[in-house]
Chain A
Amino acid sequence: MSTEILMPALSPTMTEGNLSKWLIKKGDTVKAGDLIAEIETDKATMEVEAVDEGVVLDLLFKEGEANIPVNKAIAIIGDPNEKIEVKKEAPVEKVIEEKKIEKNIETKIENKKDDIIDTPSPKIEEDTNLSSVEITMRQALRDTMAEEMRKDNKVFILGEEVAEYQGAYKVTQGLLQEFGKERVLDTPISEHGFTGLAVGTAFKGLRPILEFMTFNFSMQAIDQIINSAAKTLYMSGGQINCPIVFRGPNGAAAQVAAQHSQDFSSWYSQVPGLKVITPSTPYNAKGLLRSAISDPNPVIFLENEILYGLKGPVNNDVNFSIPIGKANIEKEGKDLTIVTYSIMLQKSKEAALRLKEEYNLDIEIIDLQTLRPLDTETILNSVKKTNRLITVEESWPFGSVGSEIANIVQRNVFDYLDSPVIKVNSADVPMPYSLSLEKLYLPQVEDIINAAKKVSYIK
């Protein structure tokens, strides 16, 4: 009997892989544990071992073929005397061409598949410098760091696996090669120590970019971020500033459970002295990261792992930046305002499309881009126009960014509101592991639609 060897999922967020190299050929006998192929994932190139035993009857993909979905048969092994039972399938088509989010974002849950779509915001389309080529968020971040490092020798990057490994999520790919080990530094796993060290370099005039492998690990260093980086300008009567960018993925990835899936946006936004940025597209990631690196203050730059693979156009001008503290009206509308940021922008856009189709509601979407300082003016103007507001974010509900926005709105434009403000947040529990519970935990398009119906008094 023959057995299919399937494209394995080699990381929590991997949905497809590239076949870098076959280590076996047709006719070879393989035993369990033998290396059979090298697969390039969204994070790294890895060797794959055989689980079953037999003779290699067929290799279904050639070396170099890309974007092979997880669980797709890539080879067949079995008894050479038996007839091959599995039909050879046509190779999968190359990279997605439509303006659709990268496959990365699709998850193993079938009905979640089309949750996230990407339509360009009107503002971006107006940009005359827009690149014709779409790049991923990961590339946009990388390119911006490289551009700023070329401009200013004082900019350097440090973090775990940022240099030789090329970044745990490949965001720092190629930087070591271009800038050398004096400016791209692998640190030991000592967040508290290297964060304090980086803060010291910033006090002394360098401009470090510190990558946390994920923001979950920033908890190890929280004292240095809050007590040293955020407060020293104030405590020194304005003498010592701290031009540092703390960046890395924040929030839920895919099934990495409670200690590795946490959204810190509201935590950091609470702290005077910090600026907090949450990019949602390759376009604004580029503009905002440039502003963050040039800023003389400590900046918390919260990326999202699932968005690293999101593709979109960017502005290739090496001086293009988006100001900190300015929200983007992603979509104009008149019936109701959704205020959101980071990955929830994508879900909000999907919800807006369905609300238009199903209930003829014209939704205005505000992508905050920066959480601190908050662009209250844009929010208030929108609410004055639409008279209804929901906030959508991945953070826990208690004291979330939405909580503060609800407060600001009721305080300033109470008379304009036609309904109470509703917040859509993650569940008020630690992140569960199970796929089904994880979906339940995170805000979904359906939750946004329900909230929108509620503030619009639609049964």
Chain B
Amino acid sequence: MKKLQKADYIKMYSYMLKIRRFEERAAQLYGMGKIGGFCHLYIGQEAVVVGILMTIDKNDSVVTTYRDHGHMIARGLDPKRIMAELTGREDGYSAGKGGSMHMFSKENNFYGGHGIVGAQVPIGTGIAFTHKYNGEKNICRTYIGDGAMNNGQVFEAFNLAALWKLPVLYIIENNKYGMGTSVDRAAAGLDLYKRGEAFGIPGEKVDGMNVFSVIEAADKAGKYVREGNGPYIIEVQTYRYRGHSMSDPAKYRTKEELDNYKQTDPIEIVKAEILKKKIATNDEIEKINKDTLEEIKNAAEFATNSPFPKDSELYTDVYL
């Protein structure tokens, strides 16, 4: 694994913080009625996507679930335009037609944002197929929630990926609950990373609250996939602090459980490491905090001031 540079630590901290501040602001806008529909927040899971981000190539592709805001930020996409999509405005990444769950950026190889549980898994596998078909060295990172791991098409995709040795890295974000159902009430056999074993797909379980563990695993897995060995599964153990969506009071879990996870907050872990290694001072961290807050505030302002799509847009983009 390549050694992390000072700048890498700052990058990780900034991105994770940006995701958190973004989601907090999104929750606020939702409460104000500026964001509608379903809105799934990533708070608590930041180390997963940021850890993976540290190991990838700009030309790699990514496809994820509807809990996608953080993924887009980690991809380097503009928080303004992400937020504008949440508010359903014309400056949004999908011009206001997709919303929180369906956002895409083709130029950044970000293929959504999928609203149907499990559907993104065959699609990501197909994107990986395309990399191979075109003779490219790139891989497709395909994120899967723990809930989708009981969905049939996921295993059809695993089989195809292994059969055709496709360059796909499957990342299971196990945040312990598929909506209100805990993993142990939904999955027979709790080691989700072992579910590729029958297809010969290696798997590994990783602590997803600690970004350094994620990087280590992702680096190893990424190399394996990039070298043409076929798919690989990483199960990242993580936790969402908020409910499944904005309308979920999360009564299926205890306050103690949540508080317990907050003790290992992924952002605090990175911050502590930065201070310990003297990569930045407290003041410098404070400046990042302030700048991030400002950036997200601006994004919210942009998103609420961007115009709604024109009525004529209703009929565009149905066919190319």
Interface residues of A (CB under 8 A from B): 156, 182, 185, 187-188, 190, 192-206, 223-224, 227-228, 232-241, 272-273, 275, 296-297
Contacts and interface: CB of A to CB of B under 8 A. Distances in A.
Contact of B104 (A187, A202, A232): A232
B105 A227 contact: no
A224 to B, nearest CB: 6
Contact of A273 (B103, B115, B318): B318
Interface string B155-184: 111011001100000000000000000000
A227 to B, nearest CB: 5
Chain A to chain B: the 6 pairs with minimum beta-carbon distance, closest first: A200-B126, A193-B156, A196-B122, A237-B95, A190-B156, A200-B123
A187 B124 CA distance: 17
A297 B319 CA distance: 6
Given A187-B160, A200-B123, A237-B95, A193 B319 contact: no
Nearest to A243: B320
Interface string B127-148: 1111101000000000000000
B284 interface: no
A377 B164 CA distance: 47
B51 interface: no
14 contacts: A192-B152, A196-B122, A204-B111, A204-B131, A206-B130, A227-B119, A228-B116, A232-B102, A234-B317, A235-B97, A235-B104, A237-B96, A240-B106, A240-B112
Contact of A204 (B122, B126, B160, B317): B126
Given A193-B153, A241-B320, A236 B123 contact: no
Contacts of A236: 93-94, 97-98, 102-104, 106, 112, 317
Most buried by A among B112, B121, B126: B126
Given A182-B133, A240-B104, A197 B93 contact: no
A242 to B, nearest CB: 9
B98 A233 contact: no
B157 A197 contact: yes
A239 B122 CA distance: 20
A237 B319 contact: no
Contacts of A241: 320
B124 to A, nearest CB: 6
B283 to A, nearest CB: 42
Given A192-B152, A196-B126, A240-B104, A224 B159 contact: no
Most buried by B among A196, A206, A227: A196
A219 to B, nearest CB: 14
A293 B131 CA distance: 21
Nearest to B314: A234
Interface in B184-207: none
B63 interface: yes
A232 B97 CA distance: 10
B112 A200 contact: no
B104 A239 contact: yes
B64 interface: no
Contacts of A202: 126
Given A196-B153, A203-B111, A237-B92, A297 B320 contact: yes
B87 interface: no
Contact of A227 (B93, B116, B127, B156): B116
Given A241-B320, A297-B319, A196 B119 contact: yes
Contact of A203 (B92, B105, B126, B153): B126
Nearest to A229: B123
A305 B157 CA distance: 29
Contact of B317 (A156, A199, A205, A237): A237
Contacts of A193: 122, 125, 153, 155-157, 159-160
B130 A200 contact: yes
Nearest to A238: B317
B61 interface: yes
B316 interface: yes
B112 A232 contact: yes
A297 B318 CA distance: 9
Contacts of B40: none
A188 B159 contact: yes
B114 interface: yes
Contacts of B159: 188, 190, 193
A234 B122 contact: no
A202 B122 CA distance: 12
A273 B153 CA distance: 23
Contacts of A199: 122-123, 126
Contacts of A275: 319
Given A193-B160, A239-B105, A224 B122 contact: yes
Contacts of A232: 102, 104, 112
Contacts of A234: 97, 317-318
Contacts of A198: 126
Interface in B78-109: 92-98, 102-106
Contacts of B160: 187-188, 190, 193-194, 197
A235 B102 contact: yes
Contact of A197 (B111, B123, B152): B123
Nearest to B111: A203
